[in-house]
Every structure is written in structure tokens, then in C-alpha cells.
Amino acid sequence: MSLRMTDTFIKPMHPEGIRFVAIFGAITLGLWLVSDFLALIGLGLTVWCYYFFRDPERVPPARDGLVISPADGIVSIIEPAVPPAELGMDATPRTRVSIFMSVFNCHVNRVPVAGEVTAIAYHPGKFFNASLDKASAENERNSLRVRMDCGRELAVVQIAGLVARRIVCFIEEGARMSAGERFGLIRFGSRLDVYLPEGTEPLVSVGQTMVAGETVLAELPAVPQPEPQPETGTDPAGVPGAQA
């Protein structure tokens, strides 16, 4: 088997998944003592668990000014919404792009833009199906506020789903992050919301497939440059507008 084929089927696993794969493997061994058929089912679930925690390398686009998808999955909702109150951002509605992750997607989450994480806020809640609109407000969530070097801000929110019972965040407030850098994961099936900076339009559509760290969600509008001020003429003595 070539190296390319190996890279296609064998992905590195995030350390968060080691104990879960070990548990599934131990159960499979126990089932093998009872029934070969049950052992095969256990083996299949163990392989699924390994792939759930897969953590492949991703290559973000090199161009500046892009907002990158923080998660693998499907765009489920695009609508104006106010970021979570616990982040302390203004109450002006922003475009929110929601990405639903099934239990078959890679669940490692990545920062959409380069910048400083100025706030991280955990909010306990319920466990509705993550594809529902009310999940953004009522489900358990972990929110990040990211300030870019240009001064614009963005929010990205990890939301627990119907099956997910554990949100994991790897970073702390004040961290400087690069676009596409890993910041957390969610177990098992969930959703991420991205609240785009004001005036930023998404470049994706509902139903589109996202690849974390690679798919472009939006492009930031150019920052307006101040108009040059007209120069005031002076004579050699420094008197404005004087005639020679």
C-alpha cells in the first residue's frame, strides 16, 4: 500500500479519544468471549470511535482577510442573530453561520481567524437536537470572542447536541491564535455557530459541506482608508497663504 493510500485511510487520532477507543476495545474483547457476531459489532463500533476522534492535518488558505470554517459538517442555518450575552459583545445582530456536525464528522474545532481570544464563556443548558434553531440559545455551549489585529471581532460558539454531553476547550483567554489552529472539540454530534463581523457577508449556502480549517466562510470587507488632507501652502516665513 502506498503512503498516499495509507494517509487516506489511517488518520491520526486526537488524545482525547484514547480512553474511549480503549473502552470500546475492552468491551469488544468481552463480547468476543460470548459471541463472534457481537464481537464484530463491537469491532465496528471501535473503528467508528477511532474515526470520530480523528484529527487530520489541515492547510488554511494563505490569503489574509478570510474567515475559515471552524468545523467539518453541513451549513444548517444562515441568519442575523445577536452573539451570546456572556461574551459582552454589543447587541447588534450579526450574520450567524451554523455548521451541524453529525456523528460521522471530524469533531476537532479550529479558530476561524487569526487574533487574540479576549473572552471564553461556558453556559450550561439543555441538549436539544443541534440542528434546531433554538439550540443556539438553549443548549449547553462554550463561546469564544476573537479580536483580529484590524480591530474587528468575531464570535465562535461550540454547542452541545442531542447526543453530545461534553464540550472540550483547549485554550485560555488571552491566547494568540492563527487561523485554522485547533481550539477544542465536542463529543458526540453537535454544532458550531460563527458570528461574523458586522458588514461581512457569507460566501457559503445552506446545505454546503464544510471542511474545518480549509473552507472559506466569508471574506472580510476592506477597512476604509482615511482620505488624504489637502496641503496648505506656506511662504518661506511660515505664514499660510502669503504671496511671494
The residue extents of the domains of the chain are: 3-52, 66-219
Name the band, by pLDDT with cuts 50, 70 and 90, for residue 5.
very low
Number of Cα atoms under 13 Å in the Cβ half of residue 150? 15
pLDDT at 6: 44
DSSP conformation class of 89: -
- Amino acid identity at 191: R
Query: 3-class SS at 91?
Result: coil
Using an 8 Å Cβ cutoff, are 16 and 53 in contact? yes
Using an 8 Å Cβ cutoff, are 186 and 107 in contact? yes
Per-residue pLDDT for 176 more than 90?
yes
DSSP 4-28: HHHHHH---B-GGGHHHHHHHHHHH
- Amino acid identity at 12: P
Residue 21 or residue 176, greater confidence = 176
For residue 167, give Cα distances in angstroms to 36, 107, 109, 140, 160.
35, 10, 11, 8, 7
pLDDT at 1: 38
pTM: 0.76
Mean pLDDT of 198-222: 93
Question: Residue holding cell 493510500?
Answer: 5
Per-residue pLDDT for 225 more than 60?
no
| Residues whose CB falls within 8 Å of the CB of residue 108, separated by 6 or more in sequence, listed in order | 14, 55, 182, 184, 185, 212
pLDDT by residue (tens digit) across 36-75? 788 788 887 777 667 667 778 888 998 889 999 999 999 9
Highest mean pLDDT of the ranges 29-38, 45-54, 140-149: 140-149
DSSP 136-147: HHHB-EEEEEEE
Architecture of domain 66-219: Distorted Sandwich (2.70)
**Across 8-12, 28-32, 87-91, 138-142, least confident range:** 8-12
Q: Is 98 a catalytic residue?
A: no
pLDDT at 3: 44
Mean pLDDT of 182-209: 90
Mean pLDDT of 165-177: 87
Task: Measure the CA–CA gap between 66 and 218, rounded to whole angstroms.
Answer: 6
Name the band, by pLDDT with cuts 50, 70 and 90, for residue 185.
confident
- Percent of all residues in the chain with a pLDDT value above 70, rounded to a whole number: 73
Q: What is the mean pLDDT of the chain?
A: 81
pLDDT at 2: 43
Residues in the chain: 244
Among 35, 178, 190, 205, the active-site one is 190
Name the band, by pLDDT with cuts 50, 70 and 90, for residue 243.
very low
Where do runs of H (alpha helix) occur along the chain?
Answer: 3-9, 18-34, 36-52, 135-138
